[in-house]
């Protein structure tokens, strides 16, 4: 809450007195003191619907039960969230919600994370009194958009998805059609739920009515573990949870990463994430991952192990540096973590002084942007590179086209490429590069996946993907956020900072960082923009770097 | 958009919008006008109405599907709405229903082949003092007897 200090009011909830800011809803107030009130339709990011009647509570001196999602706390209010009368009302509401529900939990993908299931076990648990036939709806397992599957029978008509489409994505595809027991969620006839934010309706659906087509039937929700991370797909840096499965490799074709879910951060992405970001993780478990360090001789790539590849790279780079006619260039990636960028900057300037840094924020992705979340810059850490002086704003750093001119003039003896697939970029950036790469005597590629650019490299280092290493990225407004290490890197891959450090050692330097956090501690000491920051300070919400606003 | 109102009806829509503080509030009137003009309301008509009132199409579809008297499918020239609630049933509505079905050769919800009659049963029409009652299009007919019903149906062109 910004602006004026709000008045606090004293309210009794379940026999205990608390102070809350005036205007807090009873549901939120109770939640803040650890009392969960069941609800379907209420969502903190959406308007209040008051549709599900699950959050009824008793307020003394009020004749009827009140919905706690809408009623606000006030001085002297005495609220009961769990007395016999409330419990009875909840049970009755659940009975209504379940009248036409198909009870197909065993084949429902929401099973295990379904509010209807959870609330029934906690608050319902009755023997059905229903003798009538259930009302059948028309659309079951029906695809209504590129990412979303609809099952009308499972719907409890909370209208969260409809409100999301009205208020957040403003695309208005969904509505509640028909009336009474025939009411159903659907898209307008012949329309698709295809806004760039469509899959958020799956997250907010409290039941199994809207499901993620990509994740459906891949694995059960209770087999998944979760770790906090930051979406790598654009410079917004949306906070996400990575849901993964390591113990049951026979599920989901052995893919470790099962799905990404948005994680609420009111400073960055609220409760949402765009579809581009949500499905951006496929490369991590892709078949084309680079699994070991490769050295290519006579067109054949061979896994030599890290030691040999590093030594060869160091020797070749040294030879190149010894020549006065040619320069060494490093193509820095705005997708690399701050720690990696910091080491890159230091290792090359200390071990191979005069190395030319090159920076490009070009990506193969369409530069989509809107005023909800998506940013045009599809890199996670352009701002971090900028704050460390690694972008062409600083005179010594080249752009991709300056590099190409130098390559074509025969001035580049060796090129170290981080993550960029130069030949896979849009035409304006990639033009001429396929031939240009052939003209560089030594190309070293460090990346996660095999690509046409890596195919042209003589030495290839397998780097860990963002979910396989710890690190920080800086979003467009200068917020430094942590990407946790979720699982081990695939095969022999190593975190980027570790590869650079080992290369530095092979080049004769002494670098002895044990973890990304240690690198960051040095980074914070030496880079003024990051002064005073630490992993602890960044925490789960991120921290805006100093001078970042300038 | 392939459907649209003629100039005269477009003026009417503007008039309807002026009756309300918000443009959106005219939706009921405009949809009814659309039904009169186009016969029934298709998704295409909904899109047109949505464009007239600056509303999302899904919102218009919600309103159309909520109210049963917005017609989603074509009906015959004469829409027979026979009350089947208690007062009318006690006064012989069941016999009347059987009579209509037999005479027109259709079941409830169906339309005669030449497209002249559609038969519906409806809830209370609010005229129990004249039970049994029915409506044909916009007109109410009360104190019905089988004979009266026969004469009425025969008189319709």
Taking the Cβ of residue B58 and every Cβ of chain A, the question of whether any pair is shorter than 8 Å is answered with yes
Model confidence over A457-508: pLDDT tens digits? 999 999 999 999 999 999 999 999 999 999 999 999 999 999 999 999 999 9
Contact indicator for A463, A232 with CB cutoff of 8 Å = no
pLDDT at position A98: 94
Closest residue of chain B to A176, computed from CA coordinates: B62
Whether B48 shows a pLDDT value over 80: the answer reads yes
CATH 3.30.70.20 region(s) of chain A? Answer: 133-285
Closest residue of chain B to A192, computed from CA coordinates: B58
Distance CA A414, CA A316 (A): 8
Residues of A in contact with B61 (CB under 8 A): 175, 177, 188-189
Contact indicator for A218, A227 with CB cutoff of 8 Å = no
CATH 3.40.50.740 region(s) of chain A? Answer: 294-544
Could you report the predicted ipTM of this complex, rounded to two decimals?
0.87
**Residue-wise over A384-396: b if at least 16 C-beta within 10 A, else e?**
bbbbbebbbeeee
pTM of the model: 0.92
Q: For domain A294-544, give the CATH number.
A: 3.40.50.740
Taking the Cβ of residue A365 and every Cβ of chain B, the question of whether any pair is shorter than 8 Å is answered with no
pLDDT at position A550: 44
Angle at B91 (CA atoms; ends B85, B96), nearest 5 degrees: 80
**Neighbouring residues of A52: CB distance < 8 A, sequence distance ≥ 6:** A39, A40, A41, A42, A93, A97, A156, A157, A158
Among all chains, which residue has been given the structure tokens 């005073």?
Answer: A532
Among all chains, which residue has been given the structure tokens 């309301």?
Answer: B41
**Neighbouring residues of A467: CB distance < 8 A, sequence distance ≥ 6:** A227, A229, A242, A244, A257, A281, A284, A483, A485, A486, A487
Picking from A175, A189, A191, the nearest residue to B59 by CB comes out as: A175
- Domain spans of chain B? 7-66, 78-155
Taking the Cβ of residue A177 and every Cβ of chain B, the question of whether any pair is shorter than 8 Å is answered with yes
Closest residue of chain B to A184, computed from CA coordinates: B62
Angle at A438 (CA atoms; ends A336, A356), nearest 5 degrees: 45
pLDDT at position A547: 61
DSSP codes joined into one string, B30-93: HHHHHHHHHSS--HHHHHHHHHHHT--HHHHHHHHHH-TTS-SS---SEEEEEE-SHHHHHTTH
CATH 3.10.20.740 region(s) of chain A? Answer: 8-98
Model confidence over A120-152: pLDDT tens digits? 999 988 898 989 899 999 899 999 999 999 999
Chain A: nearest CA to B54, how far in angstroms? 12
With a pLDDT cut of 70, the percent of chain B lying above it is: 99
How many residues appear in chain A? 550
Among all chains, which residue has been given the structure tokens 């295990």?
Answer: A112
Number of other residues whose CB lies within 10 A of the CB of residue A295: 18
Q: Counting one residue from A and one from B, how many pairs have CB atoms under 8 Å apart?
A: 36
Per-residue pLDDT of chain A (550 residues; tens, 9 = 90+): 445 667 999 999 999 999 999 999 999 999 999 999 999 999 999 999 999 999 999 999 999 999 999 999 999 999 999 999 999 999 999 999 999 999 999 999 999 999 999 999 999 888 989 898 999 998 999 999 999 999 999 999 999 999 999 999 999 999 999 999 999 999 999 999 999 999 999 999 999 999 999 999 999 999 999 999 999 999 999 999 999 999 999 999 999 999 999 999 999 999 999 999 999 999 999 999 999 999 998 889 999 999 999 999 999 999 999 988 899 999 999 999 999 999 999 999 999 999 999 999 999 999 999 999 999 999 999 999 999 999 988 788 999 999 999 999 999 999 999 999 999 999 999 999 999 999 999 999 999 999 999 999 999 999 999 999 999 999 999 999 999 999 999 999 999 999 999 999 999 999 999 999 999 999 999 999 999 999 999 999 999 987 654 4
Q: Give CA A365 to chain center in angstroms.
A: 17
Distance CA B107, CA B101 (A): 6
Contact indicator for A205, A165 with CB cutoff of 8 Å = no
Strands (E), A250-318: 257-262, 294-297, 300-303
Q: Which fold has domain B7-66?
A: Arc Repressor Mutant, subunit A (1.10.10)
Closest residue of chain B to A189, computed from CA coordinates: B43
- Which residues on neighbouring strands pair with residue B118, listed in sequence order? B79, B111
pLDDT at position A67: 97
Best probe of the B interface among A137, A177, A182, by most B CBs < 10 A, is A177
Q: Which fold has domain B78-155?
A: Glutaredoxin (3.40.30)
Distance CA A310, CA A318 (A): 12
Angle at which helices B27-38 and B57-66 cross, to 10°: 80
Chain B: nearest CA to A139, how far in angstroms? 16
How many residues appear in chain B? 157
Three-state SS for A15? coil
Model confidence over B94-142: pLDDT tens digits? 999 999 999 999 999 999 999 999 999 999 999 999 999 999 998 999 9
Chain B: nearest CA to A458, how far in angstroms? 57
Residues of A in contact with B59 (CB under 8 A): 172, 175
Taking the Cβ of residue A192 and every Cβ of chain B, the question of whether any pair is shorter than 8 Å is answered with no
Taking the Cβ of residue A16 and every Cβ of chain B, the question of whether any pair is shorter than 8 Å is answered with no
Picking from B61, B66, B67, the nearest residue to A188 by CB comes out as: B61
Q: Which fold has domain A133-285?
A: Alpha-Beta Plaits (3.30.70)
Whether B44 shows a pLDDT value over 80: the answer reads yes
Q: For domain A8-98, give the CATH number.
A: 3.10.20.740
pLDDT at position A1: 47
Taking the Cβ of residue B72 and every Cβ of chain A, the question of whether any pair is shorter than 8 Å is answered with no
Number of other residues whose CB lies within 10 A of the CB of residue A383: 26
Quick one: which H or E segment has residue A358?
strand A356-359
């Amino acid at each position: 809450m910004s602006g004026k200090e709000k008045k606090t009011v004293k309210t009794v909830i379940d026999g205990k007195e608390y102070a809350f800011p005036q205007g807090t809803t009873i549901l939120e107030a109770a939640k803040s003191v650890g009392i969960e009130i069941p609800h379907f339709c209420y969502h903190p990011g959406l308007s209040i619907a008051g549709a599900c009647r699950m959050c009824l509570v008793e307020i003394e001196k009020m004749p009827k039960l009140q919905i706690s999602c809408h009623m606000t706390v006030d001085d002297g209010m005495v609220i009961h969230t769990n007395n016999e009368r409330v419990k009875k009302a909840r049970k009755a509401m659940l009975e209504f919600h379940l009248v036409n529900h198909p009870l197909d939990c065993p084949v429902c993908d929401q099973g295990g994370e379904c509010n209807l299931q959870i609330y029934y076990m906690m608050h319902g648990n009755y023997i059905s009194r229903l003798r009538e036939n259930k009302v059948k709806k028309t659309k079951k397992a029906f695809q209504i958009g590129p990412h979303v599957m609809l099952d009308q029978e499972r719907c409890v008509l909370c209208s969260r998805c409809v409100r999301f489409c009205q208020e957040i994505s403003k695309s208005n595809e969904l509505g509640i059609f028909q009336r009474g027991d025939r009411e159903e969620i659907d898209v307008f006839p012949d329309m698709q739920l295809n806004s760039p934010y469509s899959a958020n309706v799956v997250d907010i659906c409290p039941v199994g009515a809207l499901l993620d087509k990509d994740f459906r039937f891949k694995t059960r929700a209770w087999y998944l573990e979760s770790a906090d991370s930051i979406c790598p797909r654009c410079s917004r840096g949306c906070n996400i949870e990575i849901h993964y499965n390591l113990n049951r490799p026979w599920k989901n074709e052995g893919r470790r990463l099962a799905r990404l879910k948005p994680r609420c951060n009111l400073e960055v992405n609220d409760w949402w994430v765009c579809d581009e970001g949500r499905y951006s993780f496929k490369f991590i478990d892709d078949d084309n991952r680079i699994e070991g360090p490769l050295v290519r001789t006579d067109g054949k790539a061979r896994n030599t192990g890290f030691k040999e590849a590093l030594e060869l790279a160091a020797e070749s780079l040294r030879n190149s540096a010894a020549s006065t006619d040619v320069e060494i260039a490093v193509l820095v990636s705005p997708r690399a973590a701050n720690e990696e960028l910091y080491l890159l900057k230091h290792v090359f300037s200390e071990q191979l002084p005069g190395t030319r840094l090159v920076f490009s924020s070009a990506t193969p992705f369409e530069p989509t942007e809107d005023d909800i979340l998506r940013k045009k810059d599809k890199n996670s850490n352009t701002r971090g590179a900028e704050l460390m002086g690694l972008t062409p704003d600083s005179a010594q750093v080249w752009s991709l086209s300056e590099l190409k001119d130098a390559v074509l003039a025969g001035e580049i003896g060796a090129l170290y490429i981080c993550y960029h697939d130069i030949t896979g970029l849009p035409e304006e950036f990639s033009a001429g590069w396929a031939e240009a790469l052939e003209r560089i005597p030594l190309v070293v590629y460090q990346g996660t996946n095999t690509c046409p650019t890596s195919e042209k490299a003589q030495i290839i280092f397998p780097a860990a993907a963002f979910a396989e290493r710890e690190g920080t990225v800086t979003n467009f407004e200068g917020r430094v956020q942590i990407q946790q290490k979720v699982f081990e890197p695939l095969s022999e891959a190593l975190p980027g900072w570790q590869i650079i450090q080992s290369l530095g050692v092979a080049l004769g330097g002494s670098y002895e960082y044990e973890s990304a956090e240690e690198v960051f501690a040095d980074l914070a000491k030496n880079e003024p923009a990051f002064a005073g920051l630490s992993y602890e300070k960044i925490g789960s919400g991120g921290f805006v770097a100093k001078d970042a606003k300038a | 958009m392939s459907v649209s109102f003629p100039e005269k009806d477009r003026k009417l829509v503007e008039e309807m919008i002026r009756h309300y503080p918000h443009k959106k509030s005219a939706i009921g009137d405009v949809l009814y006008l659309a039904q009169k003009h186009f016969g029934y309301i298709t998704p295409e008509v909904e899109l047109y109405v949505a464009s007239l009132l600056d509303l999302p199409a899904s919102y218009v579809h919600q309103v159309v599907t909520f109210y049963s008297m917005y017609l989603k499918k074509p009906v015959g020239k004469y829409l027979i709405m026979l009350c089947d609630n208690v007062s009318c049933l006690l006064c012989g509505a069941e016999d009347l229903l059987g009579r209509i079905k037999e005479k027109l050769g259709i079941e409830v919800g169906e339309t005669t082949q030449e497209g002249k009659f559609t038969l519906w049963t409806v809830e209370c029409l609010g005229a129990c003092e004249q039970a049994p009652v029915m409506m044909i299009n916009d007109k109410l007919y009360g104190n019905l007897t089988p004979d009266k019903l026969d004469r009425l149906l025969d008189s319709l062109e």
